[in-house]
């Protein structure tokens, strides 16, 4: 994360593993709901360094849960991931599909979901777990966008190549069982994702039981389609290099999002890839 991405509200820099800091925060502020976004999220890195991911994504979440429960806070919204499904048996993926993560990253998210279920049973914690598909785009104001170090998400990588900050874009795997041989993903605009969190918070505050929800647009686009769309939006040629598959990458991940629409009233505003890429390009074009 970046300090400049939090222009409003009070900002406290710290580590979820710092129990003393968490104690001070929960003693100082009248918190009623916790939204937990922080995690390591690189699939390939998680395969190489699984303990790093289990320590950060699981152990530190346990610390957070322990302290908030000590302070009587029993509403929790968790950033989970479609990676819990692994190689799905059916497309689109419903919340009832088997969960068989193919990477330690996905396994870490599933572990936390299991922990939340047990905390619900034992302590009365009410939670919503949002299984993100591919978050993308930028705030419509053009002031907040994706800025990872190193960058790992496809759309910003492609736009960096369009901007001339990268020589080319690598396609990892062109032999998948898809129409053009490249992976297919479901892209959800960050504004729609944020709105889902607010609806989840409202539902918990209104006494709803919570649960697990997919968070995606229910449309799938291949890597090649993303690159072509970025070229159309930017008006620039993007040089492509083909590389081998990355470990832990499923061929297709597309959400069935009927549950969150029906139960929480969520309706995405940004449903086509070109619009999502346009908002991202607006930010990247003007960013340093």
Q: Which residues are catalytic?
A: 105
- Phi, psi of 258, rounded to the nearest 5 degrees: -60, -35
CA distance 97 to 115: 19
Cα of first residue to Cα of last residue in the chain, in angstroms, is: 17
Instruction: Supply the DSSP string of 101-136, one letter for each residue.
Output: -SSHHHHHHHHHHHHHHHHHHHH--EEEEEEE-EEE
SS (HEC) of 29-72: CCCCCEEECCCCCCHHHHHHCHHHHHHHHHHHHHHHHHHHHHCC
CA distance 4 to 224: 32
CA distance 275 to 267: 16
- Phi, psi of 78, rounded to the nearest 5 degrees: -115, 135
Q: CA–CA distance from 250 to each of 37, 84, 146 (Å)?
A: 23, 11, 23
Q: CA–CA distance from 14 to each of 3, 11, 38, 49, 166 (Å)?
A: 12, 10, 11, 23, 32
210 CB-side CA count, 13 A: 25
CA dihedral in degrees (95, 99, 103, 106; nearest 10)? 40
């Amino acid at each position: 994360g970046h300090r400049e991405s939090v222009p409003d509200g009070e900002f406290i820099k710290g580590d979820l593993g710092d129990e003393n800091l968490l104690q001070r925060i929960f003693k100082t502020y009248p918190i009623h709901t916790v939204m937990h976004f922080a995690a390591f999220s690189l699939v390939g890195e998680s395969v190489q360094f699984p303990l790093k991911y289990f320590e950060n994504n699981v152990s530190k979440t346990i610390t957070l849960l322990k302290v908030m429960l000590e302070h009587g806070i029993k509403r929790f919204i968790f950033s989970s991931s479609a990676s819990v499904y692994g190689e799905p048996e059916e497309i689109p993926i419903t919340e009832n599909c088997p969960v068989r993560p193919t990477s330690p990253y996905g396994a870490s998210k599933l572990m936390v979901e299991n922990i939340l279920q047990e905390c619900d049973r034992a302590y009365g914690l009410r939670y919503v777990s949002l299984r993100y598909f591919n978050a993308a785009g930028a705030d419509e104001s053009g002031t907040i966008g994706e800025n990872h170090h190193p960058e790992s998400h496809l759309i910003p990588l492609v736009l960096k190549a369009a901007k001339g900050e990268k020589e080319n874009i690598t396609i990892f795997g062109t032999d998948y069982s898809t129409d053009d041989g490249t992976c297919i993903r479901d892209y959800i605009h960050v504004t729609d994702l944020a709105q889902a969190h607010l609806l989840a918070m409202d539902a918990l505050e209104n006494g709803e039981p919570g649960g697990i929800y997919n968070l995606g647009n229910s449309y799938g686009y291949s890597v090649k389609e993303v690159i072509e769309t970025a070229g159309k939006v930017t008006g620039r040629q993007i040089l492509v290099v083909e590389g081998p598959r990355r470990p832990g990458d499923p061929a297709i991940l597309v959400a069935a999002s009927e549950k969150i629409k029906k139960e929480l009233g969520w309706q995405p505003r940004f449903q086509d890839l070109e619009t999502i890429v346009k908002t991202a390009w607006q930010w990247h074009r003007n960013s340093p």
